[in-house]
Amino acid sequence: VTQGSTSGSRRSQRNAGQVVRPALSRESIIKTALDIVDQRGIAQLSMRKLGGELGVDPMAVYYYLPNKQALFDGLVEAVYAEIDFDIPEDGTVSWRYPLETFGRNLRKTLSQHPEMLQLVATRPVLSPNILRYSEWAIAILEAAGFTGAQAVNFVSCLRSFTVGHAFAELSEPVGAPAASEEEITAVLTERFPKLAEAITGGYRPDQQYELGLQAMLDGFEDLRPRA
Amino acid sequence: VTQGSTSGSRRSQRNAGQVVRPALSRESIIKTALDIVDQRGIAQLSMRKLGGELGVDPMAVYYYLPNKQALFDGLVEAVYAEIDFDIPEDGTVSWRYPLETFGRNLRKTLSQHPEMLQLVATRPVLSPNILRYSEWAIAILEAAGFTGAQAVNFVSCLRSFTVGHAFAELSEPVGAPAASEEEITAVLTERFPKLAEAITGGYRPDQQYELGLQAMLDGFEDLRPRA
DNA sequence: ACCTGAACACCGTTCAAGT
DNA sequence: ACCTGAACACCGTTCAAGT
């Protein structure tokens, strides 16, 4: 939560010998909140603890954000802004490229903020970062012969799959609800042998994601009018 | 929240003229909790309101469930149990059938409990209903030439896509974060014309889901060894 | 066995007040 | 303009007690 002293730090200089508290701002509040979420979990983010972390009265953040929902929106937007959605200079990319990159890079950022998943999945935020990349993706897909409506659906489906997969990864493969690992596999082998057998190979999330991603893209390809 | 009087209703008969309160049970508690979630939203489900709805001291439910997490687990399991996962008598189904049915029927039940989505996506529950159907699906897929590991990945990917899509549907297409519908489309047409153009056709969730579902299945088909 | 009730350590948010 | 502090109406959960 380190941050260089910004302008308007007259106050900071007054309390020499004390901990220097940078001036509050919407941005710094959201940054601190995201740290809390990432490190301690979404359930641990309260307006009161946020105030504590900022070294400020809990009510101080209400000057910058009207309520907790607004804070959540800010957090989601901050995560969206982190996604690497750079559009390549070189214009010659296949129609699969924007879609693959959209999925993989979204997934990468989500994996860095697993505790944000609930918020990201729940709150609709029109992030410029996403919109801009989608706009470009549509152009590429249209140039490849798809319609704009198809392109939007493709992006939407990939987003859904990626978010859903991130959730599944978070909740473990055939996870441990309360019982121990051994107990579960024991019950599985007895009652659901094929499932148990198929799982013993291990759960490889990256591989599974790539399988689903490529399958979808292969399916989309079939919709393309013949050249 | 109506429920026929069950056995052990000696108490109920004592307070004649009063509202008859059926005996508490884990099942009836979860049923009532699910009603609250469906009708008033997940945020409105508190142990205290649950007690109120049951006509009982809030602490009474702790006799049947150790804490709120256990209540959540019960709710998720209840939703999973509702999914129509009947295995057809007639054994001659295509390998696509179990996968299509898995996705569509999961989606149908999720759409009936939209407020449960966060919980369903978050909590790993080994529902017998799901395991049993998965076991059958694997058998069908193996008979069609796929490996068990592939079959498990297919089911997993479909679950991810279905859950993710349910979330997206809940959060609206290019939803309204705070601004009005008109403002959004205005900004969109100005800055992201292709996106705006592609969206004007309207958002058809069912159609989009079916598109993604079939694309994935088409992609899976390519992995099948030639007969 | 099943339920009650007080108590504790928390919440988000309002509103008036300070500097 | 920016932050404080008391107050209100909530939470989940513990623990001892009632019947």
Tell me the per-residue pLDDT of B80-129, one tens digit each, with 9 for 90 and over.
Answer: 999 999 999 987 899 999 999 999 999 999 999 999 999 999 998 889 99
Question: What share of chain A in percent tops pLDDT 90?
Answer: 75
Alpha-carbon distance A119 to nearest alpha carbon in chain B (angstroms): 9
Counts for chain A of helices (H) and strands (E), in that order: 11, 0
Closest nucleotide to the alpha carbon of A61, via C1' = D3
Can you tell me whether residue B70 is helix, strand or coil? helix
Q: pLDDT tens digit string along B8-28?
A: 333 433 344 455 677 899 999
Q: Give the span between the Cα atoms of B101 and B108, in whole angstroms.
A: 10
Q: What is the pLDDT of residue B172?
A: 66
Q: Give the span between the Cα atoms of B106 and B102, in whole angstroms.
A: 6
Which residues on A lie below 8 Å from B174 (Cβ)? 124, 126
Q: Give the span between the Cα atoms of A164 and A172, in whole angstroms.
A: 13
Query: Any idea what the Cα angle at residue A174 is, between residues B146 and B138, rounded to 5°?
Result: 20
Residue B174 has phi, psi (to 5 degrees) of -115, 40
Burial (CB count within 10 angstroms: exposed 0-12, middle 13-18, buried 19+), residue B41: exposed
Q: Is the CB of A147 under 7 A from strand C?
A: no
Side-chain-side CA neighbours of residue B96 (13 Å): 10
Q: Give the span between the Cα atoms of A126 and B34, in whole angstroms.
A: 32
Q: What is the pLDDT of residue B7?
A: 37
A52-61, A175-184, A204-213: which has the minimum mean pLDDT? Answer: A175-184
Average pLDDT score over residue span A179-200: 86
Q: What is the pLDDT of residue B33?
A: 98
Q: What is the pLDDT of residue B19?
A: 59
Q: Give the span between the Cα atoms of B159 and B102, in whole angstroms.
A: 8
Q: How confident is the prediction for chain A on average, in pLDDT?
A: 89
Can you tell me whether residue B22 is helix, strand or coil? coil
Q: What is the pLDDT of residue B9?
A: 36
**What torsion do the CA atoms of B10, B11, B12, B14 make, to the nearest 10 degrees?**
90
Q: Is the CB of A15 under 7 A from strand D?
A: no
Q: Give the span between the Cα atoms of B161 and B170, in whole angstroms.
A: 14
Q: Does B160 touch chain A (CB under 8 A)?
A: yes
How many Å does it take to go from CA B66 to C1' C6?
Answer: 20
Question: What one-character DSSP code corresponds to residue B20?
Answer: P
| Cβ neighbours for B155, distance < 8 A, ≥ 6 positions apart | B99, B102, B134, B137, B138
Q: What is the pLDDT of residue B94?
A: 97
User: Taking Cα atoms as reference points, which of A14, A35, A33 lies closest to residue A24?
Assistant: A33
B52-61, B141-150, B199-208: which has the minimum mean pLDDT? Answer: B199-208
Residue B45 scores a pLDDT above 80: yes
Q: How confident is the prediction for chain B on average, in pLDDT?
A: 89
Q: Is the CB of B61 under 7 A from strand D?
A: no
Confidence of residue A101 (pLDDT cuts 50, 70, 90): very high
Can you tell me whether residue A60 is helix, strand or coil? helix
Average pLDDT score over residue span A181-200: 88
